[in-house]
Structure 1
């Protein structure tokens, strides 16, 4: 992909890189495309392209979404490594909150008319429970933190889908692209009045430099998250699948798929292990089995479903679990077997049973670890009585499943951030040009994108496009071929792409060349026109893999 380095970089992209955004060769190429097109389109379309440039330079935007009470905010805190997102129902849980890197910790309340108000974090380090403003006037919150985890990924906490608060659901749906606000005509629907308010206020938000040039459709095209971490609990419901279908990266033309979406089965410790055959009472084994079943239900909308215990992860990762907690658990672990077994039967029994550990202390342990975490901690302390508080915290973190979630985030999102952002930007550019209503302008943008995609270095974008088409069902293919397309496009290493872990380089190269030939034949003789477009991309992917294996 060295050829992309010669493309012109936009100033916004360069600035974004300095602020922590990861600007790769594909994003740089798309930025060059935006810069060249800005002088060839209307002022309003050019303003939309300027916003695309800004987004290209920013870190990957990952929305954490799911049903109400699925534990989204708890998981957000664990991922950030700091307890900042409120987990109790309140004003803030009704709002979309974007957690991003900043040099000074602060909160910005962004109002619907574009105005902003800066607030400090609460004394406990969290977003204040009471913002001191009319929440109905608030668009969303921007939380800036010095945490290194946010340098390359902006984490977006969303209100729960299925909430009784219709306004909170609407905010989430807008972020996930479900509202379809970009399809309304000027002045129609709920967006017209809001847009008028913004115009009267001069739009003093993030895009104040764009004045009145950036229209509502253009805003919608670049407002959404680029990837989603979807949180489910024990049962996948119809609205979970509906939300994933509705999710768009930058516009409604890009749907959730194995490239930009993974799911987690949260609260894995609440699964009744006896209800899952073959798990022999092992809660984590039962959660793993259930996660695999949910993956079958949600695929190909998500790359994977992983079990996690967000509460334990948050307590262990954010410093909420203290040395005093470790000392209290050490006392509990010293109780005789019968007493401990009875106490761990239920939360009520754990707090009410008579023992030397005060009931209030035991209640605090439940709030931080729940019964499963307490059970794991006492097991570890009985096996190794001299275990330090730090070692116990690490043991609890290991049992939470957070490490596997982070590793998958790195594999699916971080390693592909350049491709995901570039593909989302191209979709935004297309949507903005389409909204202009100028056929000549639309054709000019289309032709420029086709020229970019014709370059060999842009094959990754073609592969992402093919994955999206297949995962969404837009291109109908036999299931065995669907699985192959998803495998080749969704994995980071060659053996996994070829479905041959442990294979020798020679065997892998032979197989890659064989499959390249098969897909080329299928594209030419056995496929429909839509299938043929996908098949040509897969053929090229196999051929590039073969070349890579031959060169090393």
Structure 2
């Protein structure tokens, strides 16, 4: 079966031949074609101080993005996989200059020298990191910056007035849910998803440990906030999921040092009542005269790296029996919410990377053909729109988003089956059908055929509302797709 990426690639190639002399159209189509061969582009967006750079570092598992408010954090920065660490600034509309990486007081920063942010178009960071092999991450300036120029950089990259979004998918970080967040998410959805609505937008309640003021139950409070945000956002269909993440804890856990584990062990030996008094605030915890078996400077460093929630979590885990740094790191990552976010991103973005890239290319192609009409444009445009409409993976993504806000009236078990069949837990045949990985081909075929019949029958029920009928038909089509793939394997 020809993939959505191959179909988009062939159509872009055909369009390029229809512009033998139009240099502008050829240049735009060349960019479109090159983008199909690039890794998936995922942008981190959100208000200022939402924790985008910290989350990026946690994803990668290395300190590669500056987190302090410097000139470089006011610029759109692209992070790609590279053989050696290299940072380049593009400025003044076409010039480039190498950027020095510095670590003053242990904090990474990019030294732009005499360049100011208003002159820099973007920063490219090539870094050897496994997490960047199949994904390019774009860190954007805060959308609610007091400087309109800074916010405009993010808008121009994600929602350009006369072009296609620079991202295939977006992770949107927020600490609250304001009208400006909803408005901006709507703009993102229109550009990333085109007129048919958003395809790849996931919301994150960032700095989630601060929602509960660093208490031991902070993530439970953050989960409630995320659920509320999800209900409000999903009623508008603006994103597929909302996940709470304590980015600082996630980064600290992924870069946990043996010396820090030893400090946590020492703190775990302090009587709980005494430790709780010392941890009433960050300032109190870091005081040099605190009666704790750890130097004040080390405690301040620990609070800076993990936050009070992270310290409380680490101490609790050690008291419960975690006795080595790798085990502690894994448990802290789990408690940070990063594992859940990774899973959501893998299902929504990673496993559908070809579909998302194809969609971006087809939307870009559509705009080129409209802006530069030729005698071949009507046929090419019709084919591009047919592919945009016919790729079932797009319909699945949109339906998964709508299911979070739309009441289908289906029983709980059938609703869970619907989510699974649409690829909500993975797009492999066994994942869609809820079967073990070692299921035989005969069992897979039988289960897929049964799913086709069951969901067709549900769609034909005379008492179902139109939305539920559409959901059932989409599920039946997904089951048919599984059957088709099994027949070709």
TM-score by length of 2: 0.83
Measure how far apart 1:224 and its partner are. 1.3
> 1:232-311 to 2 correspondence within 5 Å?
232-233=174-175, 235-248=176-189, 253=194, 257=198, 259-272=199-212, 282-299=217-234, 300-311=237-248
- Find 1:116's aligned residue among 96, 104, 119: 96
Q: Where does residue 380 of structure 2 map in the other structure?
A: 445
Measure how far apart 1:370 and its partner are. 1.0
Indicate yes or no: 2:251 matched with 1:314.
yes
Indicate yes or no: 2:131 matched with 1:149.
yes
Q: Where does residue 371 of structure 1 map in the other structure?
A: 308
Residue 453 to residue 349, structure 1, CA distance change in 2 (3 Å) = closer
Indicate yes or no: 2:322 matched with 1:389.
no
Residue 509 to residue 536, structure 1, CA distance change in 2 (3 Å) = closer
Q: Where does residue 70 of structure 1 map in the other structure?
A: 50
Q: Where does residue 132 of structure 1 map in the other structure?
A: 114
Report how many aligned residue pairs link the two structures.
467
Residue 282 to residue 126, structure 1, CA distance change in 2 (3 Å) = closer
Residue pair 2:76, 2:141 contacting (<8 A) in 1 also? yes
Aligned residue for 2:102, secondary structure, equals: coil
Deviations 1:296-331 (A, max 9, x none): 2222322211221100111222x3x32222222222
Show structure 2 runs of 5+ residues with no match.
437-442
Alignment partners' CA distance in 1, 2:214 and 2:345:
31
Deviations 1:247-278 (A, max 9, x none): 15866725763x41112222222223999xxx
Indicate yes or no: 2:266 matched with 1:341.
no
Measure how far apart 1:549 and its partner are. 8.1
Q: Where does residue 464 of structure 1 map in the other structure?
A: 394
Residue 47 to residue 324, structure 1, CA distance change in 2 (3 Å) = same
Aligned residue for 1:99, secondary structure, equals: strand
Aligned residue for 2:143, secondary structure, equals: coil
Residue 402 to residue 500, structure 1, CA distance change in 2 (3 Å) = same
Aligned residue for 2:194, secondary structure, equals: coil
Residue 399 to residue 435, structure 1, CA distance change in 2 (3 Å) = same
Indicate yes or no: 2:160 matched with 1:225.
no
Aligned residue for 1:70, secondary structure, equals: coil
Deviations 1:144-172 (A, max 9, x none): 10112101000111111111121110011
Alignment partners' CA distance in 2, 1:481 and 1:439:
49
Alignment partners' CA distance in 2, 1:470 and 1:411:
11
Residue 472 to residue 163, structure 1, CA distance change in 2 (3 Å) = farther
Measure how far apart 1:338 and its partner are. 2.2
Alignment partners' CA distance in 2, 1:114 and 1:514:
58
Aligned residue for 2:222, secondary structure, equals: helix
- Find 1:94's aligned residue among 42, 61, 74: 74
Indicate yes or no: 2:296 matched with 1:359.
yes
* Aligned residues: CA RMSD: 3.8
Aligned residue for 2:250, secondary structure, equals: helix
> 1:165-184 to 2 correspondence within 5 Å?
165-177=147-159, 180-182=160-162
Alignment partners' CA distance in 1, 2:387 and 2:205:
39
Q: Where does residue 330 of structure 1 map in the other structure?
A: 265
Alignment partners' CA distance in 2, 1:332 and 1:404:
28
Residue 77 to residue 131, structure 1, CA distance change in 2 (3 Å) = farther
Alignment partners' CA distance in 2, 1:440 and 1:463:
31
Measure how far apart 1:365 and its partner are. 0.8
Q: Where does residue 440 of structure 2 map in the other structure?
A: none
Q: Where does residue 427 of structure 1 map in the other structure?
A: 363
Aligned residue for 2:45, secondary structure, equals: strand
Indicate yes or no: 2:456 matched with 1:516.
yes
- Find 2:5's aligned residue among 27, 49, 66: 27
Residue pair 2:248, 2:306 contacting (<8 A) in 1 also? yes
Residue 130 to residue 52, structure 1, CA distance change in 2 (3 Å) = closer
Aligned residue for 1:128, secondary structure, equals: strand
Show structure 1 runs of 5+ residues with no match.
5-24, 183-219, 276-280
Alignment partners' CA distance in 1, 2:422 and 2:393:
6
Residue 53 to residue 67, structure 1, CA distance change in 2 (3 Å) = same
Deviations 1:432-489 (A, max 9, x none): 11112x26443132233367579xxxx5x2441575599699xxx9753999998764
Moved more, 163-172 or 389-398: 389-398
Alignment partners' CA distance in 1, 2:63 and 2:196:
31
Alignment partners' CA distance in 1, 2:475 and 2:371:
32
Deviations 1:38-67 (A, max 9, x none): 112362323221111110010000001111
Residue pair 1:350, 1:362 contacting (<8 A) in 2 also? yes
Q: Where does residue 62 of structure 2 map in the other structure?
A: 82
Measure how far apart 1:284 and its partner are. 2.6
Measure how far apart 1:69 and its partner are. 1.2
TM-score by length of 1: 0.74
